Amino acid sequence: MTISTPVVALITGASSGIGEETARRLAREPGIELVLVARREDRLAALAAALPCPATYVAADLTDDDAPARLRAHVEEVHGGRLALLVNNAGASWRATFGDGGYENVRRTMAINFDAVLRVTEALLPLLRASAPSAIVNVSSTAGRISRPGAGAYSASKFALAGWSDSLYAEEREHGVHVGLVLPGFVVTEGFPADELRAKPHTRWMVSSADKAAEAIVETGLHGKAERYVPKPYALAAVARILLPGLVRRAMGGGAGQLYTTKTGADRQDG
């Protein structure tokens, strides 16, 4: 499926990292108009002004009750209700074991990584259907296929997003709305510099860049790909989880599985 122009695309978490790079990559597409969404209005304004295409923005915390309605109203009022691509990229992670973080850590992680995605999609789905052929790209994570110690809440939210995306794809196909899934591994962003991984030759291959994740989003959103891992070899880990679950559990319980799990605190990735 190829979406025809003109294309209005809405990107959440657009003020930094994967979201910002996705905006810059999409801005090169012919006939594109962008709606940038994140919490930091100053960054959104600067990005919108720098892009070589029409771009508007909405400063919003997607966990706020009125955020989905605000996004829909903006698209209707400013872009005539046209919406050909929704990129659900905003997310966050608070690293903690379940014994330390408990339900509260799971709740707040699910609120931004899963619940907010559903609420935004629910609000904008009528516009996507009316603009069909159109597409939704949900940015999950390799952690949505394989869990690491200290990242259980994050993995739970991304597993949920991946499962829901598969169902939504089947449900919306008849309405002309494609649903794609992008599963980044370790991607260098403002909140995740990955210095330790990049410093070691045997782990450097595990780290990718935000521009490659953005390219995967374009492939799934504008060109109808079902699913993309970034970097691509991470797909082998997901296969191994199915075929060799015991081995993967042992591997993730130590070594690479321990990377970045001893810190605590918030790592908002949504800008």
Q: Closest Cα partner for 43 from 78, 15, 20?
A: 15
pLDDT band at 268 (very low <50, low <70, confident <90, very high): very low
Q: Which of 61-65, 153-157, 247-251, 253-257 has the lowest mean pLDDT?
A: 253-257
**Single pTM value for the model:** 0.86
Give me the CATH number covering residue 146: 3.40.50.720
Of 154, 169, 234, 260, which one is the catalytic site residue?
A: 154
Model confidence at 209: pLDDT above 90: no
The arithmetic mean of pLDDT across residues 12-22, rounded, is 95
Mean pLDDT, all residues of the chain: 86
154 is catalytic: yes
The arithmetic mean of pLDDT across residues 160-174, rounded, is 97
Model confidence at 84: pLDDT above 90: yes
**In this structure, are residues 271 and 60 in contact, taking their beta carbons and an 8 Å threshold?**
no
Q: Does residue 184 sit within a domain? A: yes
pLDDT at 246: 73
Residue range(s) defining the domain that contains residue 241:
7-268
Q: Does residue 155 sit within a domain? A: yes
Q: Does residue 1 sit within a domain? A: no
Rg (CA), the chain: 18
Q: Does residue 228 sit within a domain? A: yes
202 backbone dihedrals φ, ψ, rounded to 5°:
-80, -10
Q: Does residue 125 sit within a domain? A: yes
Q: Does residue 218 sit within a domain? A: yes
Q: Does residue 71 sit within a domain? A: yes
**In this structure, are residues 23 and 30 in contact, taking their beta carbons and an 8 Å threshold?**
no
Go through the chain and tell me how many residues it has: 271
The arithmetic mean of pLDDT across residues 89-115, rounded, is 95
How many structural domains are present in the chain? 1
Q: Does residue 2 sit within a domain? A: no
Count of C-beta atoms within a 10 Å radius of residue 73: 13
